[in-house]
Amino acid sequence: MTPPHRALPLTVALLLAGCGAVFPRYTAATRPPPPGMTTGGQLSQPPEGVRVVRAAEAEAPPSKPSGEAWDGDGPPDLYVVLYRNDQELYRSEVMSDSAHPTFTGPGVALYAPPDASFRVELWDEDGPFDDLVGRQEFQGIPASARQGGQWLLRMEHGATVRLEASAPAPMLGLGVTYEVHGGYLQLLEVVSDGPAGRAGLRVGDRITAVDRRSVSDLEEQGSRRALDRGTARELDLTVEHADGRTETVHLPVDAVYPAR
């Protein structure tokens, strides 16, 4: 039988062996561009497949199919949920006591290729168990709405939801999410239509230096500040690609369009 004083260190060692190291994770900062950059044509344009989508208005039938009032005591408290390929991407604010509300909240920037499958659901918030008012599925954003416009979805029992699409607003930044390791920054996410993505950086690449200063010297907070400066000035990154190549990549100050 293993003595108690020997069993404890062994148990701790086994637990530590089964746990992977946790590294700090950050997304490089973004900020709105100055008005002159937006109007002067200096920034890259948004990709065709990215749009901001939000609920503009909705309408519920006067009562549930059973004839009961939606809330039991008055008009419904409606909200809209949007899914792409069964993943929830957007949920509107709840509009209380209205069967025909107008929504004013922000939308969500998302990838909307023509073959993407979407589902919209209209719900009534009603205590612990919300009531589904209606749902509708559709494929892609209608051509008439892609450049900025609305379209109407008709659901069962006369319920409707009107959606609105618009072009995404540009933000200045690199468009990367990364993990801080001892001597490098491991790229976890790269926005393909951001400065880093357009320069050829990909998930799995390692940044080892920023403006010729090594990540080892900069350490965690210095590396983070260095990448965040990409919202205001050009950067030179030393990158070890996943295929083994090492190169210096120049990133200009340009637009990034983060999207889900």
pLDDT digit string, tens, across residues 51-77: 999 999 999 998 888 888 877 667 899
**For the chain, how big is the Rg over CA atoms in Å?**
25
Statement to judge: residues 128 and 213 lie in one domain: no
Q: What is the residue range of 211's domain?
A: 22-44+171-256
Share of the chain above pLDDT 70, in %: 91
Q: Give the separation between CA 141 and CA 17, rounded to whole angstroms.
A: 49
pLDDT band at 20 (very low <50, low <70, confident <90, very high): low
With b for 16 or more beta-carbon neighbours within 10 A and e for fewer, the 65-93 pattern comes to eeeeebbeeebbbbbbbbbbeeeebbebe
The more confidently predicted of residues 115 and 255 is 255
82-101 pLDDT tens trace:
999 899 999 999 999 999 99
Residues 56 and 162 placed together within one structural domain of the fold: yes
pLDDT of 122 above 90: yes
The total number of structural domains in the chain stands at 2
Q: What pLDDT does 11 receive? A: 47
- The pLDDT of residue 48 is 82
Q: What is the pLDDT of residues 169-186, one digit of tens each?
A: 999 999 999 999 999 999
Share the mean pLDDT of the chain. Answer: 89
Q: How far apart, in whole angstroms, are the C-alpha atoms of residue 151 and residue 146?
A: 10
pLDDT(17) > 50: no
**Structure pTM?**
0.80
pLDDT for 146 = 81
The position carrying tokens 């468009």 is 175
Who wins on pLDDT, 143 or 59?
Answer: 59
Residue 9 placed within a domain: no
Nearest-angstrom CA–CA distance, 45 and 255: 8
Q: Is the pLDDT of residue 3 over 60?
A: no
Say if 55 falls within a structural domain.
Answer: yes
181 Cα distance to chain centroid: 24
Nearest to 210 by CA among 236, 228, 229: 236
Cβ–Cβ under 8 Å, residues 178 and 29: no
On the question of pLDDT at 13 being above 60, the answer is no
Say if 5 falls within a structural domain: no
CATH number at residue 192: 2.30.42.10
Would the pLDDT of 132 be above 80? yes
Looking at residues 92-114, what average pLDDT do you find? 94
CATH number at residue 111: 2.60.40.150
Last residue of a domain, one of 166, 183, 201: 166
pLDDT at 127 over 60: yes
133 in Cβ contact with 78 (< 8 Å): yes
Same domain, 60 and 141: yes
Percent of the chain with pLDDT strictly greater than 90: 68
